[in-house]
C-alpha cells in the first residue's frame, strides 16, 4: 500500500554505464517529479510531468531522459553515467487542488553511486 515507490533503492554502477530508475504512485495524482539530492543535501527539481506531458525541464544534461508511460509512472533513464551523477534521486507526486498543485508526496529515494 506504499503511496510512492521507487526501484531500485540502491544502485552502484561503473562510469559510462546506462541505468534506469523506476517510480510508481498509487495515489491517483496527475503530476509527478524527479528531484536530485546531492551530497550536501541540496534538493533540486529535475523534471515534472503532468498527465504524461513534460511540464518542467530544468537545466539537466540531456543524458537524463524521463519517460512517463502513464500518469502513475515516471521513470528516469541516465546514459553514460558520470561520477557527478552520484546522489539520491527522489520521485514525488502531487494532485491538482483548488489552489494549484498541492502537497508533494515523496518516494523513499534511490541512492546512486557511480564508481
Residue 24 vs 81, nearer CB to other proteins: 24
Cell of 84: 557527478
Closest C-alpha among 75, 101, 105 to residue 93: 105
Q: How far is the CB of 21 from other proteins (least distance, A)?
A: 15
User: What number of other Cβ atoms are within 10 A of residue 4's Cβ?
Assistant: 21
Which residues would be at the binding site for other proteins (CB under 8 A)?
A: 4, 33, 40-45, 48, 55-56, 90, 92, 96, 99-101, 103-109
Q: Which is nearer to other proteins, 3 or 15 (CB)?
A: 3
Residue 14 vs 98, nearer CB to other proteins = 98
The number of helices, as runs of H, and strands, as runs of E, in the chain is 0, 13
> How far is residue 75's CA from residue 73's CA, in Å, rounded to a whole number?
6
Give least dist CB 87 to other proteins, A: 14
Q: How far is the CB of 106 from other proteins (least distance, A)?
A: 4
Q: How far is the CB of 3 from other proteins (least distance, A)?
A: 10
Alpha-carbon gap, residue 61 to 97, rounded angstroms: 31
Is 10 or 83 the residue whose CB approaches other proteins more closely?
Answer: 10
Rounded-to-integer distance, Cα 32 and Cα 68, Å: 9
Amino acid at each position: 500500500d506504499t503511496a510512492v515507490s521507487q526501484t531500485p533503492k540502491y544502485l552502484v554502477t561503473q562510469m559510462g554505464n546506462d541505468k534506469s530508475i523506476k517510480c510508481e504512485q498509487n495515489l491517483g495524482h496527475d503530476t509527478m517529479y524527479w528531484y536530485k539530492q546531492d551530497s550536501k543535501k541540496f534538493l533540486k527539481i529535475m523534471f515534472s510531468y503532468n498527465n504524461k506531458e513534460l511540464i518542467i525541464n530544468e537545466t539537466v544534461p540531456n543524458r537524463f531522459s524521463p519517460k512517463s508511460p502513464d500518469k502513475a509512472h515516471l521513470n528516469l533513464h541516465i546514459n553514460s553515467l558520470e561520477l557527478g551523477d552520484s546522489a539520491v534521486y527522489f520521485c514525488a507526486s502531487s494532485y491538482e487542488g483548488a489552489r494549484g498543485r498541492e502537497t508533494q508526496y515523496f518516494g523513499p529515494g534511490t541512492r546512486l553511486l557511480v564508481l
